[in-house]
Chain A
Amino acid sequence: MITAQIALFLILAAVAVAGALSLILQRHPIHSALSLIVVMVALAGLYLLQGAEFVAAVQIIVYAGAIMVVFIFVIMLLNAGEEERSNFSKLARFVGVPLGVVFLAEVAYWIGRATSHLGSVPAQTVSTRDLSTLLFREYVFPFELTSFLILIALLGALVLARREESE
């Protein structure tokens, strides 16, 4: 029996997997970046389907918005062209790729079997108030640490990308 939720899940999952495959198969980095944005938007839809509204919003704003825009900036800044075709050996093509597919299918199968007793994901939404209470009460120290992390990353990026003025 396929309910509307399962149908929606299957559509979003298909979009996400197609985006990930496209990330691998595209030769131009900007096409890969756009495929990754498709994956991220599909994942945001899946978070909404699970009722995790705030995480879905952050996924769109920070991941698909900020991080990927920086990626695309760098791709355009460096004028990155198409990557060269990797010289696949015959062994890799005829043994490695099927083995990889079989391994992936097996891992997915066993994870599916091992977790099939967990039941369904409840569909009612998580209140953002509960989430923020938890974040700012129990996890307030890690939260403040992340602001230091961002500051250090900002300084590191500035120092690294700065042009040497005079030697």
Chain B
Amino acid sequence: MVPTSYYLVLSAVLFGLGVVAFIFKRNILTVFMSIELMLNAVNLAFVTFSRSLGQLQGQVFVLFVIVVAAAESAVGLAIIILIHRNRGTLDVEKVDTLKD
């Protein structure tokens, strides 16, 4: 039997690494991937609480999160393709027209 807190600590560590990747990475595709990493960490916490509290609602929410992540990645990747077509770069630091 694995203690619940182990899973929650792992979930927190993965979420933190996702935040670090979101801030550090410069390629817009990897920035987008780190969002997926954070969503995965949250899903782990959802499933863990669902199991430890004996309620299934948490797993239903994981399914919804996965659906929303799929929709998000479809739209997000379309936007990334547009950025690449208009700017010719994937570097987030070079997409800064709003700053000027």
Q: Which residues does A use to contact B, with CB under 8 Å?
A: 3, 5-6, 9, 13, 16-17, 20-21, 23-24, 29, 32-33, 36, 39-40, 43, 46-47, 49-52, 54-55, 58-59, 62-63, 66-67, 70-71, 74-75, 77-78, 80, 83-84, 86, 100, 103-104, 107-109, 111-113, 115-116, 118-123, 126, 130-131, 134-135, 139, 142, 146, 149-150, 152-154, 156-158, 160-161
Contact = CB atoms under 8 A, between A and B. Distances in A.
A77 to B, nearest CB: 7
B9 A149 contact: no
A46 B1 contact: no
A63 B7 contact: no
Q: How large is the interface on B (under 10, 10 to 19, 20 to 34, 35 or more residues)?
A: 35 or more
A83 B8 contact: no
Interface of B: 1-10, 12-14, 16-18, 20-21, 24-27, 29-30, 32-34, 36-37, 40, 43-44, 47-48, 50-52, 54, 56-57, 59-60, 62-64, 66-75, 77-82, 84, 90-91
A103 B23 CA distance: 15
A158 B78 CA distance: 8
Contacts of A134: 56-57, 60
B3 A58 contact: no
Contacts of A86: 24, 26
**How would you classify the secondary structure of chain B's contact residues: helix, strand, loop or mixed?**
helix
A23 B81 contact: no
Contact of A47 (B1, B33, B47): B47
A158 B82 CA distance: 11
Contacts of B33: 23, 29, 32-33, 36, 71
Contacts of A149: 67-68, 71
A150 B32 CA distance: 19
Contact of B16 (A104, A112, A118, A122): A104
